[in-house]
Each structure stands twice: as structure tokens, then as C-alpha cells.
Structure 1
Amino acid sequence: MTRNGRPTSRDVAHEAGVSQSTVSLVLAGKWTGRVSPATAQAVHEAAARIGYRPNEAARSLRLGRTRTVLLVVPTLSNPFFGALYTGTARVAAAHGFRIVVYPWPEPAHSAAFGSPFAHEAIDGILASSMALEMLGGFGGTPVVMLDSDPAGVAPTVDFDVADGMRRIADHVLGLGHRHVGHIAAAVDEWTFRSRGEALHAAVASTPGGRVTPARAAIDVAAARDAAADLLRRPDRPTVLVCDDDQIAAGAYKAARALGLEVPGDVSVTGFDDVLLAAALEPELTTVRLPAAALGAEGMTALLDLLDGGTPPSRSLPGDLVVRGSTAPPPVR
């Protein structure tokens, strides 16, 4: 028997010579220990032969699921989060889920944070670049944290940003730079704290090394002003290490406004390797973080969590991409 011309689970049961309940167990992936491997294989082969596809809407109703996941990001203006969404949506679509994107307010407070969706029909949450205290706003909904503090109570998929910053430090120190200007993101998040700590530790361990810090919003104009303050110093840094590619773009603008050449007078590095990095002239030395892979791995972990698993936290490596914005320091 078919429904609207489509094979049903009853048809699969008839084809495989088993009960309909056995078909349900096998196709739901819950057969281990209850059905023999040979029977499970027979069910899958029967389903393939007759072209059976499960009715995801009906299955969702039985499981009490909406097949909707909320992706919470700090902003929609940064291209990094577009790539993050792409990776998330690719895995979600392959499993019959849809993604709803929610930019959290700035500043975010846990008491108010959950109110926009605390009662929404969602199965799980992927929260990117958020503080641990924000977990209280999720109301018990299953959550996987992305690019967030791996010491948290929720499963986390993050980047090894400390290693990425150490690679930047090794690169510029290897070129001979000893006075490093650090334009840090003025955002109190784990990912930026980790970058700063790694940079300062690497420079401090180098004889003659020192860091002059500045802070700026992740915004080209704000970064330009912060970089200009560093570059106007009589003992200006010979390299500006920036927490983000947009901040690095601001550093370029500051250098050129002061008549300085990149990298002849001052080297500049970024972090993330968004499209902007290759659009700058000279192209930007930066650390490539695979945002799409982060989204895909995070969605995979959330699917595991929704199925009753305990996905381990994991960290993805970044790659140093050396381009034309770094050179040995000028001779003064």
C-alpha cells in the first residue's frame, strides 16, 4: 500500500518480511540490541529497493521536535558569521533541520537574553562567541557553544586561537620585530582574551620583546583611531598585531593617513582571514579560521546531543597565511 504514490513503512515491512515496529526501530537507528544486524540490513535494503523515504514531518510530531535550530551570533555585519551559517546550514539541511539566525543584543545580559525565544519552538541552540553566564538564558534547551570558553558546562566546538596567535608572534618575531603594538578587540570574550594572552606571553619570552597595547571596537573607524595613537608615538611599534581583520583594515588607514607605508614603515597582521584580508593592498598576513567547518562541526555535535549522545568538546586548528603586509622592521 502507498500513500500519495509514495511507499510507506508498511510497504517496507512487507518487502523485508518483518513487522512494522521492527522497521520503525531500524530506520530510527534504535535497533542495536533489539534487532539482529542481518534483520537491520534487510530492512535498509528493502527500503532502498522500493524507494522509501521517511516522512520527516510525521516523525517530528512523534518525537515532539520542530527540527529547528537557533544559531545565535553576536553580529550579522561580520562576514565570518556568514561563513559560520553556511557550514551550519549545510549539515542541518542534510538531516532535515532548518536554521534560524538570531543576533544577540550588545551588551547582552543573561536575564534579558533568553526572553526573545525562551518559549519558541526550537530543538536546540548553537551559540557563537558568547560568555558562559549566557547559558542561564537558554531555559534548559540543548546547546552547543561555538568559539566560546571550552571550560564551560556545555559541549563546545572552538578554534585553537591561542596557537594561531603564537604563530603570528613567531612570524613577526622571526622577522626581527621586537616592539609589538597589539590592537585588541574591545570585547570581553574568551576568544579575544586567549589571543592577547598568547601574544603577550610569546613576546615576553623573547629577549628585548615588548608589547604596547591599545583597544578598539571591531570596527574600521575605531581601529583606525587606536592605531593612529600607537603610530604617533616617538617610539612607535614596528608591527601592529590586530585581533581581527577589520581592525587590521583600520590600521592600514591610520598608517596611510600618517604617511607610513605597509609594510615598509610598519607591518600589520590580522586574524580570521575573511574576504577583506585579500582585498587589502598589500594583502594581509593573518590566521585563517575555518568558519564554515566550525558551523558544520557544531551542528554535528548538536545533532548528537539531540539524539541522546554526549559529544566531546573539540578545537579546530587555524593556519597562518603569510602575505605582503609583513616584512622585517625598518632600520631607524
Structure 2
Amino acid sequence: MPTGSTPAPRPTSKDVARAAGVSQAAVSLVLGDKWRGRVAEATAGRIRRAAADLGYRPNLAARDLRLGRTRTALLVVPALTNEFFAGVYTGAARLAARHGFGLVLYPSPEGTGPARDPFPSARAALDGVIASSMAADVLGAIHGDALPVVMLDSDPDTVPATATVNLDLDDGMRQVAGHLLGLGHRRFLHLAADVDSWTFRRRAVALDGLLRGRPGTTLATARAALSVEAARAATEQALGGPAGHRPTAIVCDDDIMAAGACKAARRLGLAVPHDLSVTGFDDLTLATALDPELTTVTLPAEDFGARGMAALLSLLDGAVPDTTPLPVALVARGSTAPPAA
């Protein structure tokens, strides 16, 4: 009666320890990426080489069962009509996959505010939550505050989070203001998002601190919802004064609002950038679809999402996450120029 060959037994951590001449505890620390400061770097390299030579793969299912892990995280964002949050998800999901995690995307139905709990028990279904400040109210609805929470674009001093990851919004506004001041602008309008969110409050505070009280410089503010039409209407109203006192530069909280400002300028017979310079924030695809193309601040959405996921993984491993603000950069295009004489 023919018999098949018996498959070779799967290598164990004990086999790796024996091959590397170390203890199983050292193998566990190195392959669990918790060895720094506890195992010598040369020893860690020897353990990794032994594991690779033996074809050893840790039993994630057993480890997760022991730790009570689901290897699932939740990303809470506003409605996915905004291209920026699609990039945040892409970056977070890519890093999650490399670590064997699944990432559930949960958009807030109305963009902000509470929503129905998508899980019978968030604690039982999830290891942690990553949430945008624009959808922070959802955390209460899903009882996410009982889990490790990483907040994106949030006040590190007041939000109920285990860690916060932010973009360097202050520097973004500093670059915008410096660019426009360098071109000679002194009369500014801030077209501000009418959204109660830290990210937009931070932009307003930063711009105000840079321009308010500067000799010969004025700063007015107009508020609008995050839509082209709302921004257009608010801009038309704000530009309705005498030409000699009209702003020569509009600083917009995002690119969608900047598109509305450009639309308002055309309706009023003003040329961008000859009569009016306009800047955005985000560097969406829309920025290069406008004519002239939009001067804006590019935000590294995918890196931002990856940093949020990395922070959550660090929390789950008992490590201190990297919460250094991510750098942003001004991209100067055709929508800004020196003010007309």
C-alpha cells in the first residue's frame, strides 16, 4: 500500500533558540520587535538569521488568542467625499496589512456627529481606534473610549485619546502668510471653514497670530460651509466693499473653499491672480484642475494615515508612539501674484 512522505515538522521558537544559541525568551523579544535595550543588536541579528534559515513563522493566531487580540482596528473619518481622507485610509491600511491587521473604515454618515454603533461590542471586535477630530463624536456612540485611541488632527491637551498625531498646521499657515507677504500683500481675507473642529480652529489661530497687529496689515474673516457654493457666496459678500479697501489676498481653509473663492472673483469681474490672489490648503486633485492652478499647502495624507496606524501599533505593544507633527509644504502655483498697483 503506497504511502506519502511525511511533511517536515514546522519549526518552533525552541528550534530558533537552539540554532541561535539563545533562550526562547530572547527569541520572543526579537521576533516580537521588543528587543531594543534588552537584547544586544548582534544577538538580535543572529536570531533573525536563524529564523529565516529555518523558515520559522510565529503563530500569530496563538499569540493573539493569548493576548486577547482581534488584529482589527477601526478608522473613523468624515464622509468619504473628501479625497484627503481616502489618502489617510490608504496609508493606514497599507501599514496595517504589513503587520497582519485588518482596518475597518467607518465614515460618519453626515460628515460629523454621532452615528449608530457598527459593532455589538467594540471592545470584543477591535484592538483600537484611529479617529479624525472631525468625526470625534462617533467615539462615544461606539464606546471607543474603552479602547486605545489615536486621534488625528486633534488638540493633544484636551481630546480623550491615548495618543494624538497631527500635521504641522502652524507651519503650513506660516508658509502661506510668508509667501503672500513676500509678494507684497497687506490686505487679507481668511475664508474659514464653518466647522467646529480643532484642525480649523488651529489654522485660524495660527493665521491670526501671524498677521494681526502687523503694521500696515489687515485681516478680515468670512465663514462658510465646506462647499464650493457656500464659499462662493461668502466670498462675494466679503468682497462687496469699496475697491480701495478690498482684500488683495484670500487665504482659504481648504482647496474646495478656494475653488468657491475663485468662482466668486470671476462673477465680480476680478482676475485671479492679477486682482486677487487665492490660496488653498490640502493640495487635492482639484488644485491643478483650476485655472490658474491653485497655490496651496500639500498635506501628506497617506503618511498621515500610516503614522496614525503606527501610533496605534506602538500603543498595543506597550511602546511610546511617535507623535511628532508631520511636515507640510507650500506649493506655489498661478493663483498668487503681487497685488495690482
CA distance in 1, matches of 2:183, 2:223: 25
CA distance in 1, matches of 2:171, 2:44: 45
Kept in 1, the 8 Å contact 2:79–2:111? The answer is no
Superposed CA deviations along residues 257-303 of structure 1, whole A, max 9, x for unmatched, are: 22221111211000111221122111111111211121121211111
Sort the Cα spacing of 1:4 and 1:266 in 2 relative to 1 into closer, same or farther, 3 A. Answer: farther
Residue aligning to 1:290: 300
Paired residues for 1:148-227 under 5 Å: 148-152=154-158, 154=161, 155-227=163-235
Residue aligning to 2:3: none
Kept in 1, the 8 Å contact 2:12–2:56? The answer is yes
Q: Is 1:119 aligned to residue 121 of structure 2?
A: yes
Q: CA deviation at 1:25?
A: 5.0
Q: Is 1:309 aligned to residue 311 of structure 2?
A: no
Of 250, 257, 263 in structure 1, the residue corresponding to residue 267 of structure 2 is 257
Sort the Cα spacing of 1:249 and 1:33 in 2 relative to 1 into closer, same or farther, 3 A. Answer: closer
CA distance in 2, matches of 1:132, 1:73: 8
Q: CA deviation at 1:35?
A: 7.2
The percentage of counterpart residues that share the same residue type is 60
Of 9, 12, 19 in structure 1, the residue corresponding to residue 16 of structure 2 is 12
Q: Is 1:80 aligned to residue 51 of structure 2?
A: no
Kept in 1, the 8 Å contact 2:78–2:111? The answer is no
TM-score (norm 1): 0.87
In the alignment, structure 2 segments of 5+ residues that lack a partner are 1-5
Of 253, 256, 262 in structure 2, the residue corresponding to residue 243 of structure 1 is 253
Superposed CA deviations along residues 126-160 of structure 1, whole A, max 9, x for unmatched, are: 11134877765423200111111122353111012
CA distance in 2, matches of 1:20, 1:317: 41
Task: State the AA in 1 paired with 2:318.
Answer: G
Q: Is 1:144 aligned to residue 178 of structure 2?
A: no
In the alignment, structure 1 segments of 5+ residues that lack a partner are none
Secondary structure of 2:219's counterpart equals strand
Sort the Cα spacing of 1:266 and 1:5 in 2 relative to 1 into closer, same or farther, 3 A. Answer: farther
Kept in 1, the 8 Å contact 2:112–2:135? The answer is no
Moved more, 38-47 or 74-83: 38-47
Sort the Cα spacing of 1:12 and 1:206 in 2 relative to 1 into closer, same or farther, 3 A. Answer: same
CA distance in 2, matches of 1:32, 1:203: 46
TM-score (norm 2): 0.85
Kept in 1, the 8 Å contact 2:224–2:231? The answer is yes
Structure 1 residue ranges (4+ consecutive) displaced by more than 6 angstroms after TM superposition: 2-5, 31-39, 131-134
Sort the Cα spacing of 1:4 and 1:217 in 2 relative to 1 into closer, same or farther, 3 A. Answer: farther
Kept in 1, the 8 Å contact 2:254–2:281? The answer is yes
For these two proteins, the number of residue pairs brought into alignment is: 329
Kept in 2, the 8 Å contact 1:266–1:329? The answer is yes
Superposed CA deviations along residues 87-141 of structure 1, whole A, max 9, x for unmatched, are: 21222121111211111244755xx558334713111111113487776542320
Of 32, 38, 41 in structure 2, the residue corresponding to residue 28 of structure 1 is 32
Moved more, 255-264 or 63-72: 255-264
Of 318, 323, 326 in structure 1, the residue corresponding to residue 328 of structure 2 is 318
Sort the Cα spacing of 1:224 and 1:20 in 2 relative to 1 into closer, same or farther, 3 A. Answer: same
Sort the Cα spacing of 1:213 and 1:118 in 2 relative to 1 into closer, same or farther, 3 A. Answer: farther
Sort the Cα spacing of 1:24 and 1:253 in 2 relative to 1 into closer, same or farther, 3 A. Answer: same
Of 66, 70, 75 in structure 1, the residue corresponding to residue 74 of structure 2 is 70
Sort the Cα spacing of 1:165 and 1:33 in 2 relative to 1 into closer, same or farther, 3 A. Answer: closer
Residue aligning to 2:62: 58
Secondary structure of 1:214's counterpart equals strand
Sort the Cα spacing of 1:170 and 1:27 in 2 relative to 1 into closer, same or farther, 3 A. Answer: closer
Secondary structure of 1:299's counterpart equals helix
